[in-house]
């Protein structure tokens, strides 16, 4: 994918031009239609998703945890944890994602402390969400 396509992911702004170029070369673009399942709760996860356009719904069981729009990301918790997806993510509209594999995602947060800090903040907030009843 092209570096410019990463622009909606503003949390990546601390990356150098060289780092953004390497990241873009390792990402693939994925398009999803409204209603399509992107991540299934309970499955093993090996990819991180950066939402470039469109909206997604995040659910655990039948409980809506939230909606995410352009510039947000998901899938990181399985990559940083035991590999199991703890929620489902479905396209709420047609959407496009930058997709990065586990190894490349972990390399990204290792080589870019400012990005790692933002990812940790999101993970921490998501972990504080109350469990569905």
Asked, for residue 21, whether it belongs to a domain, the answer is: yes
CB-based contacts of 61: which residues, under 8 Å, 6+ apart? 41, 132
Assigned domain for 133 exists: no
Enter the pTM of the model.
0.89
Total residue count of the chain as it appears in this document = 133
Listing DSSP states for 30-93 in one string gives EEE-TT-EEE-TTSB--EEEEEEES-EEEEETTEEEEEE-TT-EE-HHHHHTTSB--SEEEESS
pLDDT of residue 119: 81
Residue 132: inside a domain, yes or no?
Answer: no
Do 78 and 101 touch, CB atoms closer than 8 A?
no
Q: Which domain holds residue 87?
A: 3-127
Closest listed residue to residue 109, CA positions, set 39, 8, 12, 2: 12
Q: How many domains does the chain have?
A: 1
The answer to the question of residue 63 being in a domain is: yes
Encode the chain (133 residues) as per-residue pLDDT tens digits. 999 999 999 889 889 999 999 999 999 999 999 999 999 999 999 999 999 999 999 999 999 999 999 999 999 988 888 889 999 999 999 999 999 999 999 998 888 888 878 888 787 787 776 655 5
* 59: CATH: 2.60.120.10
């Amino acid at each position: 994918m092209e570096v410019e396509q990463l622009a909606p992911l503003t949390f990546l702004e601390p990356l150098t031009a060289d780092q953004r170029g390497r990241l873009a070369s390792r990402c693939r673009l994925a398009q999803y239609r409204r209603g399509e399942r992107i991540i299934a709760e309970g499955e093993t996860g090996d990819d991180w998703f950066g939402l470039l356009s469109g909206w997604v719904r995040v659910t655990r069981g039948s409980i809506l945890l939230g909606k995410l729009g352009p510039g947000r990301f998901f899938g990181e918790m399985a990559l940083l944890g035991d590999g199991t997806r703890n929620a489902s993510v479905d396209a709420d509209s047609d959407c496009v994602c930058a997709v990065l594999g586990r190894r490349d995602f972990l390399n990204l947060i290792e080589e870019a402390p400012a990005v790692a800090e933002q990812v940790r903040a999101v993970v921490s907030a998501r972990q504080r969400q109350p469990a569905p009843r």
